[in-house]
A and B are shown apart, each in its own frame.
Chain A
């Protein structure tokens, strides 16, 4: 039996997150160069807030590897009273007692880097989507709320909403009292930035870190909308970031490709509908929050059951 060996950039969570961040870099540089240098300050502030706040909440809430259910261990009969057909070491997952060990430096080095990289990614996406010229404190508050919510839900896999989208929605709601500065970028300014974001996404697809189907399903409704004559170039960057980094985030998508496409298409239609209603800033966030809210329901209906027949190897 030949075990599958992944390429180095796909082997660990930290490497995956690091490669995702590196893939963003050209788009970040392009956005700072083409649009405004203040964007870099916004990014620095939000990234600092994420990096400062994550260690505060992480040791208590996350730095314990997810243990298997204790009830499961009792039912399996780890004490050996039940004659198992499997070897003894298979009765329980090997790391099942790790949740009783204290947080170690090793955890900080390996798990901590993944947690910090994830927080940095969310902060970067939020900084890229936050309306230019608006006050920054609602974005910081929204980011902290989203990171805290992610930890309270139990981490990446248990968090129902994309943190960057949640942070954007919370931030925009907090900023609803203060005026949100409108931007009037020209297509010549935004097109290279949007293309750079799309290129980042394509790189991630080629590295097989992100799926291409949900990207396409999200982009198609937006492309139909953006083909309208009166729509400015201000939407392009949101559409590109939503396509490349939000629609392709498997954490909040069903495992089956059909479910992924349905959720992404729903988010794309929702975004286009909110744009048509005349609310450009919160469109992406609220559409994705709605789509990911429905994601578990779609997942239940798209997962194949019974499974496919076993293929002989």
Chain B
């Protein structure tokens, strides 16, 4: 059973043990401030969770637990960002599609109006023909 964690005494054992060359105490301080991006700037992404820092920490701080939790949070934020990006793209596609459909409908209406206009010309021709037919027939 691991003993409860004491405050960090900044002894540097974790930095000496880290195969990724990180300064886990500085990363931990950033995470304790809830500053994920500062931790990322200090190389949090390079942590592969080898737990060597846990093994050497005299304060028994679960450093790798902190880092894994933070990496998970970052991963979720990144997946949220990706979801937002895809949603935004879909929204723009939908907007473009609606605009295109609107334009197509307008064009269709215009075409129908034009065809209606041509239908009127036929009706006039028919009326004229009917009017001609209405005249008395020529004697055979």
Check: A227 CB closer than 8 A to any chain B CB.
no
Given contacts A76-B69, A95-B2, A313-B19, contact A306 B43 (CB under 8 A): yes
- Which one of A76, A85, A310 lies within 8 Å of B46 (CB-CB)? A310
User: Once bound together, how far apart are the Cα atoms of A158 and B25, in whole Å?
Assistant: 12
Considering the chains assembled together, what is the distance between the CA atoms of A65 and B62 in angstroms? 12
- Which candidate, B5-13, B89-97, B108-116, is the interface stretch facing chain A? B5-13
CA distance A96 to B68 in the complex (A): 14
What size tier do the contact residues of chain A reach?
Answer: 35 or more
Binds A, one of B52-60, B99-107, B117-125, B127-135: B52-60
Of the listed stretches A5-13, A181-189, A263-271, A285-293, name the one at the interface; the rest are far from the partner chain: A5-13
A303 lies within 8 A of chain B by Cβ: yes
Which of A75, A84, A93, A255 has a CB less than 8 Å from the CB of B66? A93
> In the bound complex, do residue A10 and residue B19 qualify as a contact, i.e. CB atoms below 8 Å apart?
no
Partner pick for A310 among B15, B42, B48, CB 8 A cutoff: B48
Residues of A within 8 A of B70 (CB): 72
Annotate A232-274 by CB proximity to B: 1 below 8 A, 0 otherwise.
0000000000000000001101011000000000000000000
- Known A-B contacts A157-B8, A307-B42; the reply to A66 vs B32 at CB < 8 A is yes
Chain A min CB distance to B110 (Å): 52
Q: Is the CB of B4 within 8 A of A98?
A: yes
Known: A66-B32, A85-B72, A92-B65. A4 touches B21 (CB 8 A): no
Q: Indicate whether A311 reaches chain B with its CB closer than 8 angstroms.
A: yes
Q: Are B6 and A65 in contact (CB under 8 A)?
A: yes
Q: Do A111 and B4 touch across chains, with their CB atoms under 8 A apart? A: yes
Residue of B nearest to A17 (CB): B9
Residues of A within 8 A of B10 (CB): 156-157, 250-251, 253, 255
Residues 1 to 54 of chain B near chain A (Cβ within 8 Å): 2-13, 15-17, 19-23, 25-26, 29, 31-32, 34, 41-43, 46, 48-52
How distant is the Cα of A68 from the Cα of B49 in the complex, in angstroms?
18
- Least CB separation from A158: chain B residue: B7
Is B73 on the interface with A (CB-CB < 8 A)?
yes
Decide: B7 and A157 in contact? CB cutoff 8 A. Answer: yes
CB of A110 closer than 8 Å to a CB of B: yes
Q: Which residue of chain B is the closest to A115 with respect to CB atoms?
A: B6
Task: Say yes or no: A303 contacts B32, CB within 8 Å.
Answer: no
> Is residue B76 contacting chain A, with contact meaning CB distance below 8 A?
yes
Return the CB mask of A92-113 against B: 1 if under 8 Å, else 0.
1111101000000001001100
Ordered by A's residue number, 12 sampled pairs between the chains whose C-beta atoms are within 8 Å are: A66-B5, A71-B34, A72-B69, A91-B68, A209-B11, A250-B9, A250-B10, A303-B42, A307-B22, A307-B42, A307-B46, A311-B20
Q: A86-B68, A255-B10, A255-B12 are in contact. List 5 more A-B contacts (CB 8 A).
A: A6-B56, A66-B6, A73-B69, A91-B68, A91-B72
